[in-house]
Amino acid sequence: DARVTQTPRHKVTEMGQEVTMRCQPILGHNTVFWYRQTMMQGLELLAYFRNRAPLDDSGMPKDRFSAEMPDATLATLKIQPSEPRDSAVYFCASGPGPEAFFGQGTRLTVV
């Protein structure tokens, strides 16, 4: 049963610390997305890649967020330094086309 795998599932960190979230997309999917979900803003697209190339990262605060795909089996989202307002659930998703298949998410709490 193919699925998107995200680690860690939960992360509590102190303000100012670096946070790295990892994602293994479904094998064969050439599009990878990073979304953030909060009660106030709903689901927001942060960045996405096609064939490992970044296509759009306009949803990310550039000064503190970075997203990469070192290889086809790994996508990373880093926050440095983290702030309390970054607390949210971060989802990775992948897709063979326009539809997205989501992972279980990383629940980030910055205190």
Partner 1 sequence: EDQVTQSPEALRLQEGESSSLNCSYTVSGLRGLFWYRQDPGKGPEFLFTLYSAGEEKEKERLKATLTKKESFLHITAPKPEDSATYLCAVQAPTNAGKSTFGDGTTLTVKP
User: Shortest distance, CB of residue 81 to partner 1, whole angstroms?
Assistant: 27
Binding part of the chain for partner 1, among 18-26, 40-48, 64-72, 75-83 by CB under 8 A, reads 40-48
Token pair belonging to 60? 């990310």
Residue from 21, 75, 100, 108 that binds partner 1 (CB under 8 A)? 100
- Full DSSP string of 38-96: ETTTEEEEEEEEETTEEEE-TTS-TTTEEEEEEETTEEEEEESS--GGG-EEEEEEEES
User: From CA 38, how far away is CA 36, in angstroms rounded?
Assistant: 7
The stretch among 21-29, 61-69, 71-79, 100-108 that binds partner 1 (CB under 8 A) is 100-108
| Binding positions for partner 1, 42-81, rule CB under 8 A | 42-43, 45, 48, 50, 55-56
